[in-house]
């Protein structure tokens, strides 16, 4: 089944054969964004800036330049600073802020010739699993407007699922690319930590934040990731690797373990963690995952039962480490150096209090307070240090598992998308939705979500694929083989 929304490859062919211009594609994307305004996916649109980029792309095309992303419309999660567009991180604390420079990821995509349509809604400072924590209101899931799109990259997932743009940027701290991709029925990948520069990405938890692409297919994600990754001396956590290692389309169409055209996954061992398939996983999600696993078997893959015994500990470990780093990163937003300043205050202390109370939403305040608490003298050893030890043990569990398998497969989220407001009153229930994604984030491993069907109320289901460090090309090739024999990724909301 062909998608009614063309992907990067289709648009590339149209541009290169002059069937359409970059300006026309940009105009169509802007019109689509306006038509889908009720979804609340965009926080800022600057048509003049967009058209300037499109005209430059047409100039480069007329000069004979050819590259995968040249002239293709896209949009950025509002966690990346972008010159000329608002950069708010979905927060009132940064309302109206415009950066004087571009994030490294934004700059790389600009060099590749992408045409930015605007900035996408997200949970405030990327803290959330439903996009309901945005200071500018939640996005609506295109498949069901009563459902959340997932978070924190909710606006990014919505923009692709609704067909506004063929690809977007997102960020993943504890699952914020994979989870909204799953709940909106698109493909998204979080690369190995350190693959993409964090320079210009408004920080939440620095040892966990990682940028990645979201698109309709694995092939499109690979094309975008090729332009996003690369060493950046401005980011001390960015990994320097040979350029030849960063072609994520290199294994497409190949048998991964020496199979043949009929069985391209022959010899591939797919690990199924028993902790991912037990109590808490809804039956509709389990059914869709089981059908997808049978497709992998039909392609030649071998399914193996494995164990990630500390899966349950990933939630308490993450929700100690991430808030601790957030309390440090967000301390700069005090109304003096950065961010919103309250109109009414009597002294310096009340200015701090009023500015931060007005600028930060409830979830951000909650995580700052938790993070400040666990870093306090007397509690650091009891909480933060112990959480870091557990993090190391979780990473070791994955390495033990990869001795038995080549890739790990399982659900992204325990359920399909829940209704707006359903979990807002209980933060712990919201945190539990991240149970299957947090482990890979804590370990710094690459992970992706691939659409595999629909569950309750005809809401999308995604399957998570986790690989060992820097094995993104294998994950994407595996997903591509699956998408060549299924059409879940090509389906679109009415």
How many distinct structural domains can be found in the chain?
A: 1
Strands of the 73-77 sheet, one edge to the other: 42-44, 115-120, 73-77, 167-172, 210-215, 187-190, 447-454, 460-466, 407-411, 269-273, 302-306
Full-model pTM = 0.96
Q: Are 130 and 151 in contact (CB under 8 A)?
A: yes
Question: Is 152 among the catalytic positions?
Answer: yes
Q: Are 118 and 85 in contact (CB under 8 A)?
A: yes
Question: Is 197 among the catalytic positions?
Answer: no
418-450 tens-digit pLDDT: 999 999 888 888 999 999 999 999 999 999 999
Rounded CA separation 228/189 (Å): 12
Candidates 152, 182, 195, 197; catalytic one: 152
Burial class (CB in 10 A: 0-12, 13-18, 19+), 56: middle
Sequential pLDDT tens for the chain (494 residues): 556 789 999 999 999 999 999 999 999 999 999 999 999 999 999 999 999 999 999 999 999 999 999 999 999 999 999 999 999 999 999 999 999 999 999 999 999 999 999 999 999 999 999 999 999 999 999 999 999 999 999 999 999 999 999 999 999 999 999 999 999 999 999 999 999 999 999 999 999 999 999 999 999 999 999 999 999 999 999 999 886 667 899 999 888 887 787 899 999 999 999 999 998 899 999 999 999 999 999 999 999 999 999 999 999 999 999 999 999 999 999 888 889 999 999 999 999 999 999 999 999 999 999 999 999 988 899 999 999 999 999 999 999 999 999 999 999 999 999 999 999 888 888 999 999 999 999 999 999 999 999 999 999 999 999 999 999 999 999 999 999 999 999 999 98
Rounded CA separation 234/243 (Å): 18
The token pair that represents 159 in the structure block: 């923009």
Structural domain for 31, as ranges: 1-494
Candidates 77, 119, 219, 423; catalytic one: 77
Q: What Å distances lie between residue 71 and 47, 104, 205, 228, 319, CA to CA?
A: 15, 19, 33, 16, 41
Question: Is 49 among the catalytic positions?
Answer: no
Rounded CA separation 206/329 (Å): 8
R_g over Cα of the chain: 21
Q: Which CATH number fits the domain that encloses residue 259?
A: 3.90.1300.10
| Bridge partners of residue 213, in order along the sequence | 169
* Sign of the dihedral through C-alpha 271, 318, 181, 475: negative
Candidates 99, 134, 176, 449; catalytic one: 176
């Amino acid at each position: 089944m062909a998608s009614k929304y063309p992907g990067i490859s289709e648009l590339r062919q149209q541009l290169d054969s002059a069937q359409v211009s970059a300006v026309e594609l940009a105009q169509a994307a802007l019109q689509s964004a306006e038509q889908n305004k009720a979804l609340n996916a965009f926080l800022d649109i600057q048509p003049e800036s967009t058209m300037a980029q499109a005209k430059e792309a047409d100039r480069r095309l007329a000069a004979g330049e050819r590259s995968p992303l040249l002239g293709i419309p896209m949009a950025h999660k509002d966690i990346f600073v972008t010159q000329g567009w608002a950069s708010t991180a979905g927060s009132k604390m940064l309302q109206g802020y415009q950066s004087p420079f571009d994030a490294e990821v934004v700059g790389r995509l600009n060099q590749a010739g992408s045409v930015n349509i605007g900035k996408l809604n997200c949970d405030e400072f990327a803290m959330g699993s439903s996009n309901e924590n945005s200071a500018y209101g939640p996005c609506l899931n295109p498949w069901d407007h009563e459902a959340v799109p997932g978070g924190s990259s909710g606006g990014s997932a919505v923009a692709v699922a609704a067909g506004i743009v063929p690809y977007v940027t997102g960020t993943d701290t504890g699952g914020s690319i994979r989870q909204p991709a799953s709940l909106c029925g698109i493909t998204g990948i979080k690369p190995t930590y350190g693959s993409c520069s964090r320079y210009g990405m408004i920080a939440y938890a620095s040892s966990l934040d990682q940028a990645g692409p979201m698109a309709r297919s694995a092939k499109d994600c690979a094309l975008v990731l090729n332009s996003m990754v690369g060493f950046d001396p401005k980011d001390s956590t960015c990994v320097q690797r040979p350029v030849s290692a960063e072609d994520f389309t290199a294994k497409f169409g190949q048998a991964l373990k020496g199979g043949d055209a009929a069985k391209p996954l022959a010899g591939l061992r797919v690990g199924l963690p028993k902790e991912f398939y037990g109590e808490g996983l809804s039956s509709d999600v389990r059914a869709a995952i089981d059908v997808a696993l049978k497709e992998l078997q039909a392609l030649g893959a071998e399914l193996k039962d494995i164990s990630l015994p500390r899966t349950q500990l990933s939630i308490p470990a993450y929700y100690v480490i991430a808030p601790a780093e957030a309390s440090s990163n967000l301390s700069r937003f005090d109304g003096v150096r950065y961010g919103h300043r309250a109109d009414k205050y009597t002294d310096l202390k009340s200015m701090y209090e009023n500015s931060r109370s007005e600028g930060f939403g409830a979830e951000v305040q909650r995580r700052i307070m938790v993070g400040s608490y666990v870093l306090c003298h007397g509690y650091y050893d009891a909480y933060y240090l112990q959480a870091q030890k557990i993090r190391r043990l979780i990473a070791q569990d994955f390495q033990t598992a990869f001795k038995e398998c080549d890739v790990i497969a399982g659900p992204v989220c325990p359920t399909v998308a829940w209704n707006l407001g359903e979990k807002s009153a209980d933060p712990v229930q919201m945190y539990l939705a991240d149970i299957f994604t947090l482990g890979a984030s804590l370990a710094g491993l690459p992970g992706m979500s691939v659409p595999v069907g629909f569950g309750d109320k005809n809401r999308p289901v995604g399957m998570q694929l986790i690989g060992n460090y820097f094995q993104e090309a294998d994950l994407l090739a595996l997903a591509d083989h699956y998408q060549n024999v299924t059409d879940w990724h090509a389906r679109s909301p009415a």
